[in-house]
Each structure stands twice: as structure tokens, then as C-alpha cells.
Structure 1
């Protein structure tokens, strides 16, 4: 066909344009939710570890009781006398009494009476034991060579702590000379006590006191005196047969506890040997 003719056999050119999308596209947000749950769980875990370390066993028990599934009549409930210092309506003081001083739920008074009765029996038995020790000791002192002179230094009493045997100075007859040199009087009395201790199982405590120095001195000797005298008393008791394991306490009181009104009186120089309950 001649050039310029209206018809042509050439194939048309088709141009395709591909649209390019920047980025990787939308993948969803499920991972964010999972990460948030993980962080929350870790925070709760570390808070639990901190609470376990920062609370006592009693507080943890209270927390456990608080969150435990209980019914309203449970004795241990969230509002009970526990961690938050609250008072439960089921407490002993709040429940109605059944005429015996206790309640049907918690008969504490019955248990208390049994405990008191048992303790009273044990106290009575110990009082009898201490009375026997006191009687035997006084008999041995009286029967000794200078019984009357020794008795003038001696005083006995039974207290809540035990049997207290007190050895005191007399104005003209001291128990120690110098700082802590024992006289024959205190050696005899302590030897009798050491022998007496073999007849009982009670442990012993030893205490020393001295009177206040009547004049002002550069160095107050009262502490050195009581320390030396209580040590000497312990050595004499042990040499008389007392086991070292039975000496539970050795105390030097200096002049802090006067036995008589006048702090400089000779009777404030004293030893106390206690047969403990």
C-alpha cells in the first residue's frame, strides 16, 4: 500500500504501567497484644516475688486467707482479725457465751483452765523442791562448826525466779577482804551450797553486790570488786562439786542495787546464789 494511505498493517504498541507500592504492607497488630500480655505477666511475677520477700509468714497467711474462697460463716474471712487489724464477728469476744465463760465454737476457757491447773501443779511441785533445798541447807549450816556465826550472814527467800540464798557482810565480819579475797566464812557457806547442789537438778545463777564507796575516789572500785567476787564464788562452787554446765548466769551488779536503805551499809556487800526454777 502506498505511503500515507489510510490503512496500515503495523501492529499497535501497547504500554503497560505497573503500580509499585512502597513498604511491606499491613501485617496486623496481634504481636503487640501478645507483647503487652507478656510484659504484664512479668510485672505481676516480679511484684509477687517482692511481696514474698517483703512480708512475714503471718502477713502471708493473712493474705492467703483473704483471697481464699470462703463462705460467709467461715471462721477465717476477709474481715476477720488479721492482717488489716480488723475484728471478725466470729471472734471470741463477739460470739455469744454459753454460760461457762466460753463459746460453743471456741471453748478457750476450758483449755485455759486445764493449762492453768497443770501449771499450778508444776509450780507447787517446784515450790516443794525449793523448800526442801532450803531446809536441808539451813540444817547443814546450823550443824557446822560455827553454825550460829554463819547463820548471821545468811538470808533465804523463795521468789518467782527460784530460791535465793543471800550471803551478806556484817559490820565486824566481812565475807571478802581487799578486792576479792574470800574469808573462811564465805568459803564454808559456798562449799555447803556446792555440796547441796548435788542433791538437786536446778541450775544456778550467781550475783555479786557491793556497797557504795563513802568517799570520792579517782577510780570507783565497785565494778572490779563485784566482778572479782562473783568469779571467786563460781570457782568455789565448782570446786565443791557443782557442774560448770549448771551455772546459767554470773552477774556483777556493783553498787546499783542496795539491799538496805543506807547505800554505804555493810550488808550491801553480798552474794546471791539462786537455785533457779
Structure 2
């Protein structure tokens, strides 16, 4: 009994451990499966996006691939096949155009009509500027008293503003380029208005046919008319006109008279300010000096509607004046007088001072 009480107690402890290594063969099989699925869906997408004609071409190619590739002929390099050497698109008929071959209809632009439309728009703006100046003359106490000396009309070169002499009211001092105070006031008023349009400005000075007799050697009506035009330019700039707007300053002496029938008429002594249209600007820019166009597109009329005008000069006198202008015109730049000889066209119609 005593021995049985001393029997040892045995405790069995079992250590738990992981299983053995199973390897990576399953990963290879899974990768093959994913690759096959990707290829399958790619094939399905290609079949869904391929036309029946292309599918027929592919089928024809795989029927006799070597024969088509080596011998060529129908189906070899067919532009309608998606692969090189593929068969002919069986869905196409003779005379049928290839998809995408239809050219997009080109819009045709009539350049002449576009230029004509731009010309009409520009003419409308010039007429608006003319109406504004006419309204300013009527509303301004300073300008209204000289309205008979201010003439506005539309010519082939643009809007022309002319300031003419009257019998007892000259714009300049006798035989000088010095502006009278009221002439300066007129130019100052006009200068502010000319900035309403971006068009360039051309100024021309004119004298009557009386010979210059101040005694200064080498100084004639040509230099006098040029100096008067340049003095008018300075007054316009002082009135607020942008200096860069001036494109041409020209002196024409008595070559282009206002009243050809009376060469000594005071209305022949004048300053012409032309707000040039684009055509006239391009002519000056490209050729350096363009002919000075002083012939109006319509009959010249004073600002006040209904004012009667005298009969124009004879055609013979107009032709003679135009011929003289071609040989005698003088040009000055904005810094001073420089001799030149641009051509000039027929003179304006004569105007009788308003009573």
C-alpha cells in the first residue's frame, strides 16, 4: 500500500506545430486562369467592336493565309481589312465609299462680300461721326456762328471736314500761316471729336490763285498752304486729338480750287480734314504717298440743310486744275514742309457763301 502512494505522476505535454510546406503551385494555376480570362474578355471586346465586313476578312485570311500573303491579289493589303493581307470586305458593294472618306463640307467665304460689308459698316460709322459734328456745330455757341464756313461731306476717302474763308472773315493772317483766334477755336472743338473713331487723319491746305507777294525768296503758295495745314494739325492736337492719328499733311496751293470758275474766290482758301477710311489708309501705308482725292462722292453742301449752292465750274476748268495738281502738289510730314508731288483729282463743286 505504501508503494502505491509513492507512484510518480506522469504528465504528457504535446507540443503543437504547423504543418509542412505546401509549395506555390496554386499561384501558377491562378495566374494562368486570370490570364485566360483577360484574353477571353479582350477577344469578346474586339469581336463586339469589329464590323461584319472585317470579321469576314479575318475569316478569309485564316482560310488560306499563306496563299493570300504570298500571291497578293484580292484581299492582299486590302485597305478595308484590319490586318495586313486580310480579305475583302464582303459587305461592301462596288462604288460604295469607305467610312470616313466623306470629306466634310467646306464653308465657302466670299471675300468680296465680306469687304463690302465692312465698307458699309465703316461708312455707317463715318456718317454717325458726321451727324455728331453737325449736332455739335448747332449746339455750340462758338461753332454755330461759323457754321457757314464749315462744310461736311462723305468722299471716296472718308469723311471730309472743310473750313473755308469768307469775304470778311479769313482763317489765317494775310499771307501767313498764323491761325486767327476763331479758327483756332473751331479746330480745338473738332479735335476732341475726332478721337471717337480710330481712323487716321489727312490734312490738306489750299490757297487761292493770287501770287504770293511777301517778298521772301523761294517761298510761294505751295509752302504757305503746307505751313497752314501743319498749323492746323498742331491746333487739332492741342484740342485733344491723338497725335498718332495724323497720317498725312499736304499742301496743294491753288492746284485744287473749291470754286474753279473764280480762282481768286475766298472759298478757295481752306483747310480740308479727312477722316480716312481703311481703303485710303492702306493706299497711303503701302505706297508711301497716295493721290490726294479732293473730289467728293456726293455734292458738297453746308451743314445747314436746304442752303443753296452756286453752279460748279466748267469741265474744262476742272480738267485743267486736275492736270496742274498732278504736276505741282507738295507734301509735308508732321514735322515740317518737305517738297513732293503727289497726284490730285478733280476739284470740288463751287459753293456760294450763305447769306
Where on the TM-score scale, by shorter chain, does this alignment land: which range?
0.5 to 0.7
CA shift for structure 1 position 227:
2.0
Residues 8-23 of structure 1 aligned to structure 2 (within 5 Å): none
Deviations 1:75-114 (A, max 9, x none): xxxxxxxxxxxxxxxxxxxxxxxxxxxxxxxxxxx97x82
Aligned to 1:123: 119
Q: Give 1:152's match in structure 2, choosing from 145, 148, 155.
A: 148
Aligned to 1:201: 198
| Native 8 Å contact 1:137 1:192 kept in 2 | no
Aligned to 2:272: 272
Q: Quickly say closer, same or farther: Cα 1:160–1:253, change in 2 above 3 A.
A: same
| Native 8 Å contact 2:208 2:268 kept in 1 | yes
| Native 8 Å contact 1:168 1:271 kept in 2 | yes
Q: Which contiguous aligned blocks of 4+ residues in structure 1 show a shift greater than 2 angstroms?
A: 146-149, 214-221
Q: Secondary structure at the match of 1:177?
A: coil
Q: Does 1:191 align with 2:188?
A: yes
| Matches of 2:162 and 2:144, distance apart in 1 | 16
| Matches of 2:240 and 2:214, distance apart in 1 | 39
RMSD: 2.2
CA shift for structure 1 position 216:
7.9
| Matches of 1:262 and 1:217, distance apart in 2 | 23
| Matches of 1:215 and 1:230, distance apart in 2 | 17
| Native 8 Å contact 2:143 2:186 kept in 1 | no
| Native 8 Å contact 1:170 1:267 kept in 2 | yes
Please say which structure displays the higher CA radius of gyration.
2
Aligned to 2:164: 168
Q: Does 1:231 align with 2:227?
A: no
Specify every segment of 5 or more residues in structure 1 that has no aligned partner in the other structure, as ranges: 1-109
Q: Quickly say closer, same or farther: Cα 1:238–1:215, change in 2 above 3 A.
A: closer
CA shift for structure 1 position 148:
3.4
Aligned to 2:254: 255
Specify every segment of 5 or more residues in structure 2 that has no aligned partner in the other structure, as ranges: 1-106, 278-355
| Matches of 2:173 and 2:154, distance apart in 1 | 29
TM-score, length basis structure 1: 0.56
TM-score, length basis structure 2: 0.44
Q: Does 1:114 align with 2:113?
A: no
CA shift for structure 1 position 224:
2.9
Q: Secondary structure at the match of 1:181?
A: coil
| Matches of 1:213 and 1:145, distance apart in 2 | 33
| Matches of 2:143 and 2:172, distance apart in 1 | 19
CA shift for structure 1 position 214:
6.2
| Native 8 Å contact 1:141 1:189 kept in 2 | no
| Matches of 1:184 and 1:125, distance apart in 2 | 37
